[in-house]
Amino acid sequence: MNSAGPALQCHHPDLVAILEELRALDHVRLPAQSLSDIRAARIRRLVRRIEDLLPHHKGHGERTAGYALALGEALGLSNAALRDLHFAALLHDIGLLTVPADILSKAGSLTGDEYAAFQSHPRVGAELLEPIRFLREAALLIAHHHERWDGFGYPYGLRGEFIPLGSRILAVADAFDVLLARDARHNSSDLRWALRLLQVGSASQFDPKLLDVFVTCCEDAADLLWRRVHRCHAQGPFHNPMR
């Protein structure tokens, strides 16, 4: 990934400040667990700044992180992999800050050029974060979180297990929260409706094995989950909705 290009082309003052704060976290020296906790707390705060600049995104990063971590834990990922997945989920939409605001807020269909600009956001987001040492693995996951299992995703058209595992997890978590965010008045039936829509994309958009695990996790915790999702859509960001 070309780490200089997007950063040098970035003129959004909020994005520049956000990247400077993330770079500063590279130089903090603390015991490993304390450092991870501080980085996560600072990133959550920065994500709230990012989402204030994006339409209809309030709390999306935190919720997506909660779903992604629940799936990652169910799959038995290591602590290091879960940490990178957490950071990636929180920051996965940072590249949207480089997409023109009129494209993000457009009510109708996008033109070909507008859609191409939108599709650039995973790649650009990853390029912005890749120079930050502790976010390099997260940047890789962000780069590929809109790839599809069948190879028809973007920005690189990877398919199947060529897509990093964390990116495949993030794709499921991101899509699930987008489906739920269409209506903040959730109940357990709405959650099951969202899961059924996800299953339509099994083996085309999503890794079918990962999706099966995610559906099982959600169905096992459906009543608790819908109450927490409802509360967090009403009140803002939260941590892990599956717990």
Mean pLDDT of 47-51: 95
* 64-68, 167-171, 234-238 — most confident range: 167-171
128-166 confidence digits (pLDDT tens) = 999 999 999 999 999 999 999 999 999 999 999 999 999
**What's the chain's average pLDDT?**
87
18-37 confidence digits (pLDDT tens) = 999 999 999 999 999 999 99
3-state SS class at 116: helix
> HEC states along 48-69?
HHHHHCCCCCCCHHHHHHHHHH
3-12 confidence digits (pLDDT tens) = 444 444 555 7
User: So where are the chain's domains?
Assistant: 5-235
pLDDT band per the 50, 70, 90 thresholds, residue 237:
very low
Query: Contact 211/172 with Cβ under 8 angstroms?
Result: yes
The arrangement of secondary structure in 5-235, i.e. its CATH architecture, is Orthogonal Bundle (1.10)
Report whether pLDDT(103) > 60: yes
pLDDT band per the 50, 70, 90 thresholds, residue 1:
very low
Confidence (pLDDT) at 56: 85
The span from the CA of 129 to the CA of 37, in Å, is 19
CA torsion sign, 146 to 147 to 148 to 154? positive
Q: Which residues contact 220 (CB under 8 A, 6 or more apart)?
A: none
Q: Provide Rg for the chain, Cα atoms.
A: 17
Confidence (pLDDT) at 219: 79
